[in-house]
Amino acid sequence: MQPINVTVWNEYVHEREDEKIAAVYPNGIHEAIAEGLREHPAFKVKTATLDMPECGLDEETLAKTDVLIWWGHCKHAAVPDEIAERVQRRVLDGMGLIVLHSGHLSKPFVRLMGTVCRSKWRENDERERIWIIEPAHPIAAGLPEYIELEKEETYGERFEIPTPDELVFVSWFSGGEIFRSGCCWKRGLGKIFYFRPGHEAYPVYYRPDVRQILKNAVEWAEPTGGPRPTLGHFPKPLEDIPLVDHSDEYHP
């Protein structure tokens, strides 16, 4: 079995600047996520953070990444545009992308969605019930009918995203809101999964059910290894037909 190379990216800011957050994730949110993924024997997991050279997402690292997991919140603007474009190109070329919680406002996700990706939100320690509405979907494998998080940040519709190709989870909050919390898209040759839970103040990424979702999502998002498409001008036809000389014509 070929390993699936996973890179977990995190700003790694809250955990360093806020003692309460550091108490929840003493080694960083990225390490908590990576810890759960390393339980899977087929995953080869590394981490990257905003303060690393090129945000830890240099060309070589991304070229070797099958699935990139992205957690961001307060430093979206600090990610250089060229890094966001680099991630976008890799997704279009086949790399899987899993975007978590407030990463919906990250530069790579917004570029790939083509919309503002904003929503409503509040922090009030409310209960979140995540309903699995597509139980046959690979990301839902091994899950119960719903998952209940005792305390989470509340998000509310309207969520300004393109209509998902597949909607796997929908969340209800004890304050009355609902939210599309598990969304799938295809962009180019790559797959994208957005998963809503994961506010930094709550230990969501230690939960076995959430870790199961992330493992499932990595397996779903990994590159398929299918044939590479031929793009651009190709002068030789597949069939034996006469060729017409258009060399003196203008082509953009």
Residue 232 lies in a domain: no
pLDDT tens digits, residue range 164-195?
999 999 999 999 999 999 999 999 999 999 99
Q: How much is the pLDDT for 241?
A: 86
Residue 162 lies in a domain: no
Residue 73 lies in a domain: yes
- Kindly calculate the radius of gyration of the chain based on its CA atoms and give it in whole angstroms: 20
Terminal CA-to-CA distance of the chain, rounded, Å?
45
Q: Is the pLDDT of residue 251 over 60?
A: no
Confidence of residue 235 (pLDDT cuts 50, 70, 90): confident
pLDDT tens digits, residue range 102-159?
999 999 999 999 999 999 999 999 999 999 999 999 999 999 999 999 999 999 999 9
Percentage of the chain with pLDDT > 70?
Answer: 97
Q: What is the pTM of this model?
A: 0.95
What's the total number of domains in the chain? 1
Q: How much is the pLDDT for 113?
A: 98
Q: How far is CA 113 from CA 108, 162, 165, 194, 219, in A?
A: 9, 6, 12, 11, 22
pLDDT tens digits, residue range 60-99?
999 999 999 999 999 999 999 999 999 999 999 999 999 9
Residue 18 lies in a domain: yes
Residue 137 lies in a domain: no
Show the domain range for 29. 4-117+179-221
Average pLDDT over residues 216-231: 91
Whether the CB-CB separation of 157 and 109 falls below 8 Å is answered with no
Q: Is the pLDDT of residue 239 over 60?
A: yes
> What CATH number does residue 200 fall under?
3.40.50.880
Residue 236 lies in a domain: no
Residue 156 lies in a domain: no
Residue type, 46: K
Q: What is the dihedral of CA 131, 147, 91, 113, to 10 degrees?
A: 40
Residue 148 lies in a domain: no
